[in-house]
């Protein structure tokens, strides 16, 4: 895949992800998300008993917050061409803003646990694609564009 086409695909994926994220964090999904975490708890605690006794439904909510921000970290590193720690910092700031908005203006609960989980997710995503980004940058010239032969 050529550099320009790859960039367009990443921009499209990022746009779709950000729209989905905005809908998820701004919508009235609190009850539905709570039901999902309880369903996961029941599934992994009783139906497929693989979860330890100490895991609670809240832990599944935290895990979902981690998973939700993995793509953000990966996209920041690949698209904005920043180091992994920059993606983690951006996620921490963005997540803090989301939680403040949820707590003040939406019928949702904003928590610091969610900020930490979101930041962890973005960090995991950023670290996962860092080797790929480094290989791309070695092949590329200034500004991440391919070098001319």
Segment 3-30, tens digit of pLDDT: 788 889 999 999 999 999 999 888 888 8
Q: Total structural domains in the chain?
A: 1
Query: Three-class SS of residue 59?
Result: helix
DSSP annotation string for 80-121: I---HHHHHHHHHHHHHHHHHHHHHHSSS---HHHHHHHHHH
Tokens of 62: 């935290």
Domain assignment present for 50: no
Instruction: State residue 142's pLDDT score.
Output: 56
Percentage, residues of the chain above pLDDT 90 = 66
In a domain, 89, yes or no: yes
pLDDT given at position 140:
64
Global confidence as pTM: 0.85
Q: What are the DSSP E strand ranges found in the chain?
A: none
- With 50 as the cut, is the pLDDT of residue 149 above it? no
Is 2 a residue whose pLDDT tops 80? no
Check whether 64 has a pLDDT greater than 80.
Answer: yes
Q: What is the mean pLDDT of the chain?
A: 89
* 16 occurs within a structural domain: yes
Domain around 19: 3-29+57-140
Q: What is the pLDDT of residue 72?
A: 95
On whether residue 20 sits in a domain, the answer given is yes
Q: What is the mean pLDDT of residues 92-105?
A: 91
Number of H helices, E strands in the chain: 5, 0
Rounded mean pLDDT, 22-44: 90
DSSP 78: I
In a domain, 40, yes or no: no
46 found inside a domain: no
């Amino acid at each position: 895949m050529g550099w320009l086409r790859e960039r367009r695909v990443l921009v499209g994926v990022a746009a779709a992800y950000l729209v989905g994220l905005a809908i998820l964090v701004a919508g009235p999904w609190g009850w539905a998300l709570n039901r999902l975490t309880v369903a996961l708890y029941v599934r992994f605690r009783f139906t497929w008993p693989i979860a330890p006794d100490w895991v609670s439904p809240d832990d599944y909510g935290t895990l979902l917050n981690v998973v939700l921000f993995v793509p953000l970290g990966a996209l920041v590193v690949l698209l904005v061409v920043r180091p992994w720690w920059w993606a983690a910092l951006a996620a921490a700031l963005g997540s803090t803003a989301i939680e403040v908005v949820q707590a003040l203006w939406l019928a949702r609960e904003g928590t610091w646990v969610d900020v930490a989980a979101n930041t962890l997710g973005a960090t995991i995503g950023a670290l996962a694609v860092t080797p790929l980004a480094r290989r791309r940058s070695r092949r590329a010239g200034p500004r991440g564009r391919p070098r001319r032969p």
